[in-house]
Amino acid sequence: MSSKAPIGVFDSGVGGLSVLRALRAELPHEDFVYLADSGFAPYGERGDAHVITRTRTVTERLLQEHQVKALVMACNTATAAAIDLMRAAYPHLPLVGVEPALKPAVALSKTRRIGVIGTRGTLGSAKVRALHESLKDQAEFILVPCDGLADAIQNDDASQIAELCARYMQALGSFGNEEGQIDTLVLGCTHYPFAQQQLAAHAGENVTMIETGEPVARQTRRLLQAADLLKAQGQGQVALLTTGSPQVLEAAARRWLGI
């Protein structure tokens, strides 16, 4: 495997661009191939069998057509459903997933009351349930599945984004720095950072929001370094692929990545 090969990144849609943004900042010399599996989305409201099948199909495409040297699963739902299977199937491929940042939230929260928003598939997964169980003695977590929010962000539907953010933030309860209030909010879907402004309007300025892009980027660097696959020079390029609407992906990349 060559250090000059690109890094594959995929999500069910445009949400993984938030992770790609962090990857490009951390690894400016690297080339990336981003695949939005929008034609088979949303993952978060489908069963595990669908998500596993799509993850396998996308992984094979990125390996065979683009010879990627590493794969970032920039999708919480795909990570929860399929990453263990993918690691077993591709033991020599550096593989990075994302999961809701519950551990970092525990370290930051002063009130010990933490909100977690994500897709129904992510929050209901065995992986997240086990993570929640392991931390429940350290903080109280309020988990709210946000049906439709990732799709609204995918479609850049401003009115629906505003309506759903208001609904789900209200469902979480009270925000603030007092006892019994949520002072930390985990964005458990890679689409949600692109609605951070709308979410913050309901949370208030003292609430910390945590996403996963930067930790994922640092872990990707560590794995590439360990495998001696880091690209040391050159200006990294990005190829954008989708199984859905090219116009949606192009508009999102222009809006959020400036490309």
- Structural tokens at position 1: 């495997």
Intra-chain end-to-end CA distance of the chain, in Å: 28
Beta bridge partners of 97: 73
36: which residues sit within 8 A by CB, 6+ positions away?
10, 11, 12, 13, 14, 16, 240, 241, 242, 243, 244, 249
Q: Which residues are catalytic?
A: 75, 189
Q: In a 3-state reduction of DSSP, which class is residue 113?
A: strand
> Rounded to the nearest 5 degrees, what angle is found at the Cα of 47, between the Cα atoms of 19 and 36?
30
Q: Are 55 and 82 in contact (CB under 8 A)?
A: yes
Q: Are 169 and 28 in contact (CB under 8 A)?
A: no
Give CA–CA dist 1/71, Å, rounded: 13
DSSP-assigned letter for residue 1: -
Give CA–CA dist 202/72, Å, rounded: 31
Q: In a 3-state reduction of DSSP, which class is residue 183?
A: coil
Q: Are 67 and 5 in contact (CB under 8 A)?
A: yes
Q: Which helix (H) or strand (E) holds 182?
A: none
Closest CA to 13 of 200, 220, 246: 246
Say how far residue 105 (Cα) sits from the centre of its chain: 16
